Amino acid sequence: MRFFFVLILSLCFTWEICTQNETNSSYEPSPLFESDEIFEIKLKGDIIKLFNDRKENAKYHPIVFSYEINNQHHSIDIRVKTRGHFRKMRVNCAIPPLLLNFDTLPDLAQTIFKGQNKLKLVTTCVDEKFVVQEYLVYKIYQLITEKSFRVRLVKVIFEDINRNKIRNAGYGILLEDQDKMAVRNSSAIRKQLQVNPETIDKEYFLKMSVFQFLIGNTDWSIQYLHNIKILNSENNSSLYAVPYDFDMSGIVNTPYAAPAEALQLSSVRDRRYRGYCLDDMSEFESTFQLFNELKKEIYAIYENNTILDKAYKKNTLKYLDRFYEIINDKKLSKREFRYPCNPNGTGNIVIQGLKKYKEKDKKNSDK
């Protein structure tokens, strides 16, 4: 019996099986993500102090969080801190991304925030139009798989009580908590670094990596969990990759977006497939078929959107056209999706991400 207990503990540390116990409870749908209706939220407090706290170990700040929906006003005390890496830097964004901590308040029981604990808030960095454009990318991936982050577009007002200043409402994205996303998919978040991409469930890996090609995103890696969360299924041993943070993608095309120099791309609008090498192109057939089946729905996300300006909508539809031209042409698809098999190319470059590079630089400076 003692040996069995020790064995279980060993498995917990090695494979993080014990973290999956949290996923056994039944999942309760969140009303926050059951609608696409845009509503307004307000964060009131010492906003400048909050925005100025951009250290790696940023602290929580007391904030009054309020919103009005269905003609009902709600106001609660929460804690908020800055988060992120690139967009957290003042030189890149005036308003940093935020983490809202509701501490599972009982006051939320009868509101759309029922069951919420922590929520990421993507804020307007340069121009609010890019927030909307990134939000729509999340909506594309939701069409592809349930193993995706749910999102809600909101208008955000910041009121600084010490300076009697109110910052006009700008678009923001409320992002589903990673643990709740995992529970919804009967899984747990796996935090182990250096994951081999080929250990990820192939069907879902191809969905994810072809999606990244569709949106022109190269800013991700499985190995360093860069803009990727790994789900460990509680029903089997399968691993699934869930992408997030798409502001560096070509389809969003933020003014600060640039591909990693090592990839030797001139623009984020240039697509580069960053999956692993597959010699047999027939392995992509079911994935390409899925994207073809979803084509009308993907296009409708942009065609039916009333917020986007006409020029962006037109350019994006052309960008999507090129993707579909590639996957439906055997010569073009072979050239693009077998690129990782080229030993002289940059298809096997691993993107570590800003945080990992900073940690590496710090270690080198300490030597």
Express each pLDDT in 133-154 by its tens digit: 999 999 999 999 999 999 999 9
Phi, psi of 250 (to 5 degrees): -65, -30
* Average pLDDT for 162-169: 85
Above 50 in pLDDT, residue 22? no
Express each pLDDT in 206-236 by its tens digit: 999 999 999 999 999 999 999 999 999 988 8
Res 164: pLDDT: 84
Q: How confident is the model at residue 17 (pLDDT cuts 50, 70, 90)?
A: very low
Question: Does 8 or 302 have the greater pLDDT score?
Answer: 302
Q: Residues of the chain with pLDDT > 70: what percent?
A: 87
* Separation of alpha carbons 175 and 28, rounded Å: 17
Strands (E), 145-285: 151-160, 165-175, 187-190, 228-233, 239-243
Res 351: pLDDT: 87
Express each pLDDT in 83-127 by its tens digit: 998 999 998 999 999 999 988 666 666 788 888 889 999 999 989
Strands (E), 39-192: 39-45, 61-69, 72-82, 98-101, 118-122, 151-160, 165-175, 187-190
When computed from its CA atoms, the radius of gyration of the chain, rounded to whole angstroms, is 21
Torsion angle (degrees, nearest 10) of CA 182, 187, 191, 196: -120
Q: How confident is the model at residue 163 (pLDDT cuts 50, 70, 90)?
A: confident
Q: Residues of the chain with pLDDT > 90: what percent?
A: 72
The answer to whether 269 touches 253, Cβ cutoff 8 Å, is yes
Res 317: pLDDT: 98
* pTM for the full predicted model: 0.89
Express each pLDDT in 53-94 by its tens digit: 999 899 999 999 999 888 888 898 999 999 998 999 998 999
Cα angle for residues 347, 240, 271 (degrees, 5° grid):
30
